[in-house]
Chains A and B, each alone.
Chain A
C-alpha cells in the first residue's frame, strides 16, 4: 500500500477504518471522556498529537534500528516505551502551557500511554508497509478519526442526558448501546473507494 495516495490513506483512517468505530481500538477513552463536548475535543487533540508524533518516531526507530539489527520482534515493547515517554512529554508541556486542558483531561491524559489506538497505529504502519511520510499522515488521520468518533459520540451522549431512559438502562448501559449504533452507522463506509 506504499503507493496509495495520501488522500486515500486519510479517508481510510478517518472513515472506512475508523480506529474506534470500525477497528474498536481505544474504547476506554471513547466511553470515558465523551460525556462533554469540550473535553472530548481536548482529548481528541491530545491523542491526535501523540499519534502523529508516535507514528513518525516509531517508524524511524523501526527502519533505522530494528531492521538494521534484525530485531523486528522487539517492535511491540519498544513502541510501548516510546509512546509512554511521548505521553509524559505531552503531559509536562500541557501542564506548563495549557493548564485548563491539563485539568480537564485529568486521569485520561496518562491513560493515553496505554491507549491501544496509539500502539495500534504504530503497529499498523509497520504491517501496511508505509514509508515515513505515509506513516505520519496515517497517524495524524487516525487521530482525526478518533477525534471525530469522540465528538460524534459526545453529541449523542449530551442528548441522552435529557432523554427519558428506563431506570435499568441509565448511565453506561445506554451509552454502550448507542455506541453500537454509531459504530453500525460507520460500517456503511465499508467498501468506499475500494479500500
Chain B
C-alpha cells in the first residue's frame, strides 16, 4: 500500500529533479553574458520601442549606449530626464537635448480644401495618394487616411475633418509619423518655435488659392513684416527660421490666408 504511493511519487519527483538539474546546468553552460549596465539603462528608457534613436528598439539602444555607439542623449522620447539618468549610470555628463515636436505642415480640412473625387478604397494614405495624388484637390496636402495615427506609438495624433492634428503634449518627436506619411508633410521642429507655416504646396499662388482657402500663396507679406528677418520665401512657400524667430507673432497677423499657425506647447 505504502509502495503504491511511494513509487509514483519517487518517479515524478525524480524526473522533476533530474529535469531541474539538467536545466540549471544548461542555463550555466549556455549563459548569455549581459553587461549589468545594459539592464540599468534599459530600465530608465521609455520602453516604447519606437526606433526614433535609430536603433531597432529600446533594448538595442541600451546596448549601443553602453558600448559607446550612441550618445546618452540619443533617445528623443525620454529627453533630458532620461539623458541625465543614463549619464549617471555611465558616469558621464549628458549634453543637453533640445525638446522637439512634430507638426503637420498642412491646414487643409474638408471645409477649406476642395475635393477632386470621392474616395472609397482602403483606409490608407499611400493607397489613396497613388490615385491621382489623393482625393483632395491639393496634391501636396494631408490625405487624412490616418497612416500617421496608426504609426504613432503614443496616441498623439488625431484626424479631425480630414486633417491630421498632433496633440503636442503627447508628442515625443520620435519621427515615426514622419516616416509613415506618403506626402512627407510632417516635420519635426524645436518645441520653442511657436509659429509655423502650415502648408506644403509647391503650386503657384493662384493655383493654391483655387484649391484651398488656407494655403500659403507665397505673397511674402510675412517676410516684409518680420522684424527679425526670420522669414524667407523659398519658391512659393514662406519658411520661418526657427533660430532667429522671436515668436512675436507679427507674421500670423498679416497672413492673408491664415496659413501661418500658432502652436503653443502646453508643457
Is B32 engaged at the interface, CB distance under 8 Å to the other chain?
Answer: yes
Is A7 engaged at the interface, CB distance under 8 Å to the other chain?
Answer: no
B18 to chain A: closest residue by CB: A85
Query: A164 touching B23 by the CB < 8 A rule?
Result: no
Q: How far is the CA of A187 from the CA of B7 in the complex (A)?
A: 44
| Minimum Cβ distance to chain A for residue B14 (Å) | 10
Which residues of chain B are near A164, meaning CB under 8 Å?
Answer: 121-123
Query: A96 touching B32 by the CB < 8 A rule?
Result: yes
Query: A81 touching B15 by the CB < 8 A rule?
Result: yes
Q: How far is the CA of A96 from the CA of B27 in the complex (A)?
A: 10
Q: How far is the CA of A85 from the CA of B20 in the complex (A)?
A: 8
Chain A 32-52 interface mask (CB, 8 Å, partner B; 1/0): 000000000000000000000
Bin the interface of chain B by size.
Answer: 20 to 34
Q: How far is the CA of A71 from the CA of B123 in the complex (A)?
A: 60
| Minimum Cβ distance to chain A for residue B132 (Å) | 20
Chain B 4-44 interface mask (CB, 8 Å, partner A; 1/0): 00011001100110011011001100111000000000000
How many A residues touch B, CB cutoff 8 Å?
Answer: 23
Which residues of chain A are near B26, meaning CB under 8 Å?
Answer: 89, 92-93
Query: B16 touching A81 by the CB < 8 A rule?
Result: yes
A70 to chain B: closest residue by CB: B7
Q: How far is the CA of A3 from the CA of B59 in the complex (A)?
A: 52
Is A82 engaged at the interface, CB distance under 8 Å to the other chain?
Answer: yes
Q: How far is the CA of A82 from the CA of B14 in the complex (A)?
A: 12
Q: How far is the CA of A166 from the CA of B30 in the complex (A)?
A: 49
| Chain A interface main SS type | helix
Which residues of chain A are near B20, meaning CB under 8 Å?
Answer: 85
| Interface set, chain B 133-168, CB cutoff 8 A to A | none
Is B232 engaged at the interface, CB distance under 8 Å to the other chain?
Answer: no
Is B194 engaged at the interface, CB distance under 8 Å to the other chain?
Answer: no
Is A5 engaged at the interface, CB distance under 8 Å to the other chain?
Answer: no
| Minimum Cβ distance to chain B for residue A86 (Å) | 9
Which residues of chain A are near B8, meaning CB under 8 Å?
Answer: 69, 71, 74
Is A77 engaged at the interface, CB distance under 8 Å to the other chain?
Answer: yes
Is A88 engaged at the interface, CB distance under 8 Å to the other chain?
Answer: yes
Which listed residue (B12, B19, B22, B122) contacts A162, Cβ 8 A? B122
B residues at A contact (CB < 8 Å): 7-8, 11-12, 15-16, 19-20, 22-23, 26-27, 30-32, 59, 121-124
Q: Which 6 A-B pairs have the closest CB atoms?
A: A85-B19, A96-B30, A92-B30, A92-B26, A88-B23, A92-B27
Q: Could you name 10 residue pairs across A and B whose Cβ atoms are closer than 8 Å?
A: A66-B11, A69-B11, A71-B11, A77-B12, A81-B15, A82-B15, A82-B19, A92-B23, A96-B30, A162-B124
A residues at B contact (CB < 8 Å): 61, 65-66, 69, 71, 74, 77-78, 81-82, 84-85, 88-89, 92-93, 95-96, 99, 103, 162-164
